Amino acid sequence: MSFLPGFGSRSGAVGNDRRAAFSSHISVGFILLGDVLLLQAMTLAAIFVRLELLPPSSAVVNPGNFTGIHFAVLLIPVGFAVAGLYPGYGLHAVDRLRRRVLVILLSFAAIGAFDYLAQNGLWSRGILLVTFVFALLLPIWDMVAIAALLRLRRWGIPVALFGPMAERAAFSKLLKSNPELGWYEAEAHDWPPDNGPADRGISVAVALPPGDLQSNVSFDHLAYRHILLAPNLGPLQSHNVAARDIGPGRLIIEMQRTLTLRRHAFTKRLLDIVVVLLLLPVALPIILMAALAVYAISPAWPFYVQPRRGRGGHPIHMWKIRTMIPDADKLHPAVAEAGEKAAVEAAATDDWTRNGKVKDDTRIIPGIGRWLRRFSIDELPQLWNVFCGDMSLVGPRPLPDYHLAILSQEAINIRELVRPGMTGFWQVTKRADALQSEMEFLDIYYVRNWSLWLDFYILLKTAGVVVAGRGAY
C-alpha cells in the first residue's frame, strides 16, 4: 500500500480518514475563498477600467450601475460547486479548465439576461464586459491553488485499488505522476473483488481488471460511493470519450475523432491567427531587442532559419533567434560523434542520444544565448510561421531530420497528422528533460486526444513554464 505523505500510516485509519476529510474541507475553503476574493477584486478593477481608462459614454454612471454586480458575480462560485469543482478530485486538468470556462460563460449570460429583463439594463454593460474578461482568468487561480495545496500536502483523498499486483502498481505510478488529480492509493486488494466491506470511510474504489475480465465479475457488493472501472486498454484515446448504453448488459465506448472534423480544424486555425495578431504588438519589440543583443555579442545575422518537417511531412522553414555561434550546425553533437570537430564534451553525447538535446552545449552564445532559451524568447519569431500556416500555436514541436532519426516511425506518422506547434504537451510537462520515449508518448497522446480545451490548457501551462524559466536548455 502507498500513502500520501503527511497522512501517516493506516494503523490509525479512522483518524487518518478524518484528517483526509479535514484536508478536503481545507481545499474547498481555500479554492472557494480565492474565487470569491478574486471576483470581488476583478469587479473593482473593472469599475476602475470603465470609469478611468475607457472612453466616457453618454450614459450617467452612478453607484447603482455597479454595486449589484459585486453580488451577482457570486453566481460563479455557485456554478463551480454545481459543476463539481469544489474540490473536484478525480477531474483531469483539461476537464477542470473546460468546466470553469463554461460556468463563467453561462453565469455572465444569466447575469446579463437578468439585468436586461428584470432591471431594464441598470448595471453598466461596460463594467459587466470588463469583469467578464477578468473572470476568464480564474482558471489560472485554480491551477495555482492546487499547486499550493499539493506543496502543503492538503490536496487529495484516499482511494482503494482492486486488481492484480502489476495493474495496481502501474495505476499507482500513474496517480503519483499526476498528483493534481487528487487521488492517492490507500487500500490495495487482489482480483477479483472479495465480499469485504468498504474500508474505513474510503469513498472511491478503482477496479483494475486483468485483460481476461469475465462478464460474471460483479461490483454490487462493494460498498463504495464511487466505483470506477479502469481496464488497461493500452495507449488509446482518453479525451472526447463517452459511454453509451444501447441495451441491458451492453456498454459501448464512443471515441470522437475531433481531429478529423473540419469545423474544429477551422476554429483552431482561426484562433491561431487571432492570437498571433494580439501578440505581435508585444512580441515584435522583444524580438527586436533580443536580436540586437545577439548581434552585439556575436556579430552575425541574429536570426536562424532551419528546415523542419511539417504536416504531412512537407518541409517548412522554422524561424528562431540565433542562440548559438555562427555555423553551429557544422559542430553538431551528432556530427562530433562521427569524429569531426568536437564542440561538446563526451558526456554531452549521452544527452544527445538520450533525448536529442545537449544540456551543456558549448556552442551556445555565452550569457544571452542561455537566457533567451530559458524563457523561450528565441522561439518568438515562429509567430510568423503560425501566421503563414506552417505551424500552429499548439502541436508537436517540429523536429529536424537528425532528431526525427531517433524517433519511431509510428511516432513520426502520428506527429505529421497535424501542424507542428510553437508549444506542445511534452514542453509543458517535461520540457527539455523528457526522454525520447516520453516525448513520443506525450506527442501521440496530444494528437489522439486533441481538443480546443487541451490547447487552451497547454497555452496556460506554457505561460507559467515560460515565466518560471523552468526546464529549458
What the chain holds in terms of domains, given with CATH numbers, is 10-150 (no CATH), 156-232 (3.40.50), 262-324+364-468 (no CATH)
pLDDT for 129 equals: 92
- Against a cut of 0.85, is the pTM above it? no
* Per-residue b or e along 359-382, where b marks 16 or more CB atoms closer than 10 Å to that residue's CB: eebebbbeebbeebbbbbbbbbbb
pLDDT for 382 equals: 95
pLDDT for 6 equals: 36
- Dig out the grid coordinates for 278 from the structure: 494580439
Element (H, E) at 141: helix 138-151
Maximum distance among all Cα pairs of the chain, rounded to whole angstroms: 80
pLDDT for 133 equals: 94
Give, as one character, the DSSP assignment of residue 359.
T
Note down pLDDT in tens along the chain; length 473 residues: 333 333 333 444 445 556 666 778 899 999 999 999 999 999 999 988 888 776 666 555 666 667 889 999 999 999 999 999 999 999 999 999 999 999 999 999 999 999 989 988 888 888 899 999 999 999 999 999 999 999 998 999 999 998 888 889 989 988 998 899 999 988 888 887 775 555 566 888 898 888 665 555 677 777 788 888 888 777 777 787 888 877 776 778 888 777 777 888 899 999 999 999 999 999 999 999 999 999 999 898 999 998 899 888 899 999 999 988 887 766 655 544 443 334 444 434 555 555 556 666 778 888 888 899 888 899 999 999 999 999 999 999 888 887 788 888 888 888 888 899 999 988 888 665 667 778 888 888 898 888 889 999 999 988 888 877 665 65
pLDDT for 341 equals: 38
Written as one string, the DSSP assignment of 374-410 is HTTGGGTTHHHHHHHTS-EEESSPP--HHHHTTS-HH
* Gap between the Cα atoms of 272 and 389, Å rounded: 9
Do the Cβ atoms of 279 and 290 come closer than 8 Å? no
Do the Cβ atoms of 298 and 286 come closer than 8 Å? no
pLDDT for 85 equals: 94
pLDDT for 340 equals: 37
